[in-house]
Amino acid sequence: MEATFVVVGGGIAGVTCAETLAFLEPQEKIILISNSSLIKTVTNLHSITRTLTDFDIEETESSNLSKKYLNILVLHEILVEIDDDEHYVITSVHKIKYKFVCLCMGAEPKLIPQSSVFPQILGIRDTDSVKKFVEQLQTSKKIVIVGNGGIASELVFKVTNVEVHWVIRDKHITATFVDPGAAEFFQSMLNKTSSEEVVSKRMRYNEDDFKKSGAALGPDWYKNLIISGNKKCNSSSKIMIHYETEIIQVNSLENAEYPIEVTLSNNEKISCDLVVSATGVVPRSNFVTKHQFNKSEDGGIQVNEFMQTSVKDVYAAGDICSVNWTLAKHWFQMKLWTQARQMGCYAAKSMVGHLRNEVVLQDFCFELFAHSTKLFGYKVILLGLYNGQKLGTNYEILLRMTKGKEYIKFVLEDNKLQGAVLIGDTDLEETCENLILNQLDLSQYGDDILNPDIDIEDYFD
């Protein structure tokens, strides 16, 4: 077989890349290789601000893509090898000659080491793993959740009828996304009496119930699921947080109420039915090449400002790659669906530019980190250097918090806004985005910038 562009991976990055290629080059042949029959497509895309977007994600049969774009052929196969000397992609079935190939195979969960021995230790990545978790939870009374990122935080908030022990390495919860102040703001939600969500105004993620797919889940993956244990209390779960600890050992228990026991680094022991390991991901590397890729410390394939890897005519996008260019001051990489979409789209533009010998200009989205998500039922918007990343100790923080309603944090350097955390329906995203991009000197406003009696949206209109 032969194609101008071969894209590998049916997740958000791969599908966005193939669709953008089909749009830009309707005459060129594109092959999308995916080891899952269902692929993820982005629908209802609209911009909230210049850099923040809102979209739905649909899981659809891969054949639908070929019906929509006549020049895309989808192969339900596994990439095994890339002969980058001769420009061939070799799958379990075909050998395909390419001009450009883009790798979008995502990442897999980094489970705690004991997971290979104990079936009670689960990771959450795709619909299959969620199905397994939901089933096992139904017979569980006590579970341990390890990890302090988005997945662990969502789970802790969402599970009901089970005793939860949350094991985190940090001094405060949800440390991947928020600082101790916001963590305290969220803490009250952990003692909720029901799992009713406070704010539901946000993007929807539509996951068809448990169809087979290898792609990572995305926001709202738990929306239509009943994630309930077997402790008949008909309410939210009892949650105990174990700060600054890790699991160091897991043992089987014989003739005991619970099948396993975990030992924490502070020597505390917890017997339980299930352990959920939500401790990050490792980029996939389940294929071979003639020349080795330059990789970053986390195992991600390094890409330059055009999403090109160190191997000629091989590009990469999404969770599988690690950026290796001089970053704009207010942007950094995080393995998120927003960035998977942006990178897939930009990799396509870049390949097309190189095919046509045209100059490629980097997308504006890499100017400002912008992420919209939901944590503990609240809408959460993170902009720029929202946690003072890259700023050392040379920054100020302005805070406004109304318990149970909103949490607004501005990060300022030399009186200029560098980043913001907006929790709740603050409607400040556009103002903050402009203030970060324009680097307006805010010294004349002082603390008034967050004065609740002043509508800063009007202020900077």
Q: What is the contact surface with ligand FAD in residues (CB under 6 A)? A: 8-14, 33-36, 78-79, 104-106, 124-125, 150-151, 214-219, 221, 284, 286-287, 318-319, 335-338, 340, 373
Question: Among residues 221 and 315, whose Cβ is nearest to ligand FAD?
Answer: 221
Phi, psi of 379 (to 5 degrees): -70, 135
Least separation, in Å, of the C-beta of 254 and ligand FAD?
33
Question: Among residues 172 and 284, whose Cβ is nearest to ligand FAD?
Answer: 284
Strands 88-91 and 79-83: antiparallel
Euclidean distance between CA atoms 189 and 198, whole angstroms: 9
Least separation, in Å, of the C-beta of 336 and ligand FAD?
3
Euclidean distance between CA atoms 14 and 32, whole angstroms: 8
- Where do we find the tokens 């077989």? 1
Least separation, in Å, of the C-beta of 341 and ligand FAD?
8
Q: How many CA atoms lie within 13 A of 408 on its CB side?
A: 19
Euclidean distance between CA atoms 303 and 17, whole angstroms: 15
Least separation, in Å, of the C-beta of 170 and ligand FAD?
19
Least separation, in Å, of the C-beta of 98 and ligand FAD?
14
Sign of the Cα torsion 242, 175, 58, 60 reads negative
Closest CA to 4 of 100, 91, 81, 79: 100
Least separation, in Å, of the C-beta of 63 and ligand FAD?
15
Least separation, in Å, of the C-beta of 16 and ligand FAD?
8
Question: Among residues 69 and 133, whose Cβ is nearest to ligand FAD?
Answer: 133
* 309 in Cβ contact with 290 (< 8 Å): no
Euclidean distance between CA atoms 224 and 208, whole angstroms: 10
Question: Among residues 89 and 352, whose Cβ is nearest to ligand FAD?
Answer: 89
* Sheet arrangement for strand 260-264: 247-252, 260-264, 269-272
Question: Among residues 125 and 165, whose Cβ is nearest to ligand FAD?
Answer: 125
Question: Among residues 35 and 277, whose Cβ is nearest to ligand FAD?
Answer: 35
Dihedral-angle region of residue 200 (phi above 0 means left; psi in -120 to 50 means alpha; beta otherwise): alpha
* 293 in Cβ contact with 309 (< 8 Å): yes
Question: Among residues 105 and 260, whose Cβ is nearest to ligand FAD?
Answer: 105
